Amino acid sequence: MKKLSSYIIAALLLTGCGAQKNLYKWEKDEIRPIADATICYGGHSARNPYLWTPERFEKSVIYTDEQGQEHWFFDNMIMMELWTDNYGVTYSIANDGRYSSRKEHWQEQLDYWFDPQHGFAALEQCIADAAKRIGNPPAKRGIIFSLPDPVYFEHYTNAMKGINRNTVYWGEIDGVQMDFAKAEDRVKAYKWMIDQVRAKFAEAKYKHIELIGFYILSEELSAPGSFRYEYKEHDKTIKAAADYCHSVGEGFYWVPYAMAPGIESSKEFGFDLVVMQPNYYWTDAKWSWDQIEKKIEDNGLGMELEFEGTHGEPLKSSILSKLKNGQANPYAARNKARFQEYLDNAKARGIYGTRPFVLYTGTNALYEIAVSEDPEDQKMYHQLGKFIIENPLKH
């Protein structure tokens, strides 16, 4: 009798003797390695543009070099959102007075990405159109789906003040009301979302994209003895979510800020890949490149690349050389220089070619810089494009 893989055994233990039948055809006992991914935000109505179309996705899927030749760009995409369509409700723990998301809000994310014309359908169309021009990509483009936080309290900020300490607010699973004071109920919510995404992928029968795993939204993780651990218990809930993902052949991913709590114990939490934000871009060298390199090397991390359209003057400036009102952006040169530091240090310190990269560009900055007619924007676009497509880890 052929020996069962450890993941299949785990699936049988977690979901019963019929679990193996519940695995979908793409779900295997080996987690797919990744060289790169780009983050795609979507679902909050304040984002502009709101919807993902084939044309918008194209700048993430295809890099067009200076000679006009097209290349397959990012292999994987992380689908993410921080807030629900109601700005007063968040998908993560809020320390700013927002309410925690409920089941109906988690459903909003499913409805947004599995829209029949936009989201994943648009990405599928985009890849199919590109394949007609340049041939099929080396593999299906991988999708990593962001999991909302099952937050202990309905209103975390007020609960810390002794007000509204309600923990029974999220909704029902199989007719049972979840109480998020119980770690096991928070885990049930994670599993519900994971299974919803898996089932919808199976139903859609995409030809060019494939679900490869799930992403944890919290940028720092608690352990026993840490600040307000009793209201988070990430070692109980995150590890259980990781175990469940692995039992069904899905990967588990995290992109924390630099030096965030939980990085050193990320393997214990069950992550297959952790990619650290250097945050060098957003700060005046709060951490040195020596510190960043050491943290990456000591913990086997990947590295995030960062730029966005709203950096500089709050909500007005652009990574592009001009503001939307036509005025020159005084931060453009500095922002580009900082981004160049990312690329240069990644290569000089041996991160490039050995560790994965994740790109953060806010709501739409990758598209904006790809279509910009400004020579400096185009220079940055081509530097990024070559950095990604020539990465030895990709080949």
Q: Residue 326 sits in a domain of what CATH number?
A: 3.20.20
Residue 191 near residue 244 (C-beta atoms within 8 A): yes
- Tens of pLDDT, residues 353-376: 999 999 999 999 999 999 999 999
Is 29 part of a structural domain of the chain? no
Q: Is the peptide bond before 54 cis (omega within 30 degrees of 0)?
A: no
Q: Does position 312 have pLDDT exceeding 90, yes or no?
A: no
Is 355 part of a structural domain of the chain? yes
Please tell me the distance from the alpha carbon of residue 143 to that of residue 152, in angstroms, as a whole number: 28
Provide the residue type at 315 as one letter. L
How large is the angle between the packed helices 6-15 and 234-247, nearest 10 degrees? 110
Q: Does position 183 have pLDDT exceeding 60, yes or no?
A: yes
Domain count, the chain: 1
Residues 176, 180, 182, 186: is their CA dihedral positive or negative?
positive
311 token code pair: 């950096």
313 token code pair: 């003057």
224 token code pair: 């026993």
- Tens of pLDDT, residues 3-13: 333 333 344 33
Is 174 part of a structural domain of the chain? no
Selection from 238, 96, 78 nearest residue 142 by Cα:
78
Is 277 part of a structural domain of the chain? yes
Provide the residue type at 287 as one letter. W
Return the SS3 of 63: strand
Is 257 part of a structural domain of the chain? yes
Q: For a pLDDT cut of 70, what percent of the chain falls above it?
A: 93
- Tens of pLDDT, residues 112-162: 999 999 999 999 999 999 999 999 999 999 999 999 999 999 999 999 999
Residue 96: the pLDDT is: 80
Provide the residue type at 155 as one letter. H
pTM of structure: 0.92
Query: Residues 301-305: what's their mean pLDDT?
Result: 98
Is 367 part of a structural domain of the chain? yes
Please tell me the distance from the alpha carbon of residue 243 to that of residue 250, in angstroms, as a whole number: 10
Selection from 248, 243, 297, 250 nearest residue 270 by Cα:
243
- Structural domain range at position 125: 37-149+188-394
- Tens of pLDDT, residues 41-62: 999 988 999 999 999 999 999 9
Is 9 part of a structural domain of the chain? no
Is 55 part of a structural domain of the chain? yes
Query: Residues 332-352: what's their mean pLDDT?
Result: 93
Q: Does position 2 have pLDDT exceeding 50, yes or no?
A: no
